[in-house]
């Protein structure tokens, strides 16, 4: 990673967008990077809208408030409608194609359709959808290393819900594989 990367994780409350953002922020801090994490909740937590912005930089972060992020990971249609237009030119948009059946309509950004709910269900739990999206984002950007991210994942979530650990790790691996395949095909 070079420079600064800003990403918004957005969806309904309960989809794990805050957890995905926190894991990314903790991992980047563990790698010695500068980090800002800002959560934003809608009127109700579960079922309402939720998003968080994560800024990761090699340099000091001037402002954690980002109007036009480099990337967004959107889990539902309202989040696509809100954040899709805000991504800056040449940015990256990851769309949960399990729940969103449209694209952004932009040709100045790179889009990746990730069926996060479908992959999570195949892995064993719909609650693993956020790990699919996080892994896909990291694979597309290289913002942190997968080794550090998996270590942080095990540290922060492994002891709380041991029964979900293997499901989450499987979902994580599938999200990574999908994005790495797309990245190779997109670069070809």
Checking if the pLDDT of 15 tops 80, the result is yes
- In the block, tokens 């805000």 appear at 86
Split at pLDDT 50, 70, 90, the class of 18 is very high
**188 pLDDT above the threshold of 60:** no
For position 10, what pLDDT does the model report? 96
Q: Is the pLDDT of residue 1 over 60?
A: no
Residue 186: its pLDDT value, please?
67
For 42, half-sphere exposure in the C-beta direction (CA atoms, 13 angstrom radius) is 16
- Mean pLDDT, range 151-172, rounded to an integer: 83
Task: Provide the percentage of residues in the chain whose pLDDT is more than 70.
Answer: 92
Q: Given a cut of 80, is residue 159 above it in pLDDT?
A: no
CATH of domain 4-187: 3.40.920.10
Q: Is the pLDDT of residue 175 over 70?
A: yes
Per residue, the 3-state secondary structure of 31-95, as one string, reads CCCEEEEEEEECCCCCCCEEEEEEEEECCCCCCCCCCCCCEEEECCHHHHHHHHHHCCCCCEEEE
Task: Please state the domain extents for the chain.
Answer: 4-187
Among the listed residues 73, 71, 79, 72, the one whose alpha carbon sits nearest the alpha carbon of residue 12: 79
Residue-averaged pLDDT of the chain = 91
In 10 A of CB 84, how many CB atoms? 22
**What pLDDT, in 10s, does the model give residues 21-37?**
999 999 999 999 999 99
Strands 4-12 and 49-57, sheet pairing: antiparallel
Structure confidence by residue, pLDDT tens digits, 107-137: 999 999 999 999 999 999 999 999 999 999 9
Confirm whether pTM is higher than 0.75: yes
């Amino acid at each position: 990673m070079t420079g600064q990367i800003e990403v918004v994780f957005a969806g309904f409350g309960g989809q794990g967008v805050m957890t995905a953002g926190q894991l990314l922020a903790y991992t980047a801090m563990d790698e010695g990077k500068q980090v800002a994490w800002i959560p934003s909740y809608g009127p109700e937590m579960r079922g309402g809208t939720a998003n968080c912005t994560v800024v990761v930089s090699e340099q000091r972060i001037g402002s954690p408030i980002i109007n036009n992020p480099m990337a967004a990971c959107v889990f539902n249609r309202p989040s696509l409608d809100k954040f899709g237009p805000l991504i800056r030119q040449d940015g990256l948009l990851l769309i949960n194609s399990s729940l969103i059946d449209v694209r952004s309509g932009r040709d100045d950004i790179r889009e990746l359709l990730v069926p996060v709910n479908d992959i999570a269900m195949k892995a064993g739990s719909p609650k693993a959808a956020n790990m699919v999206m996080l892994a896909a984002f990291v694979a597309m950007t290289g913002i942190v290393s997968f080794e550090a991210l998996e270590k942080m994942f095990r540290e922060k979530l492994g002891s709380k819900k041991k029964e979900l650990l293997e499901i989450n790790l499987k979902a994580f691996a599938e999200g990574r594989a999908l994005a790495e395949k797309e990245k190779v095909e997109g670069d070809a």
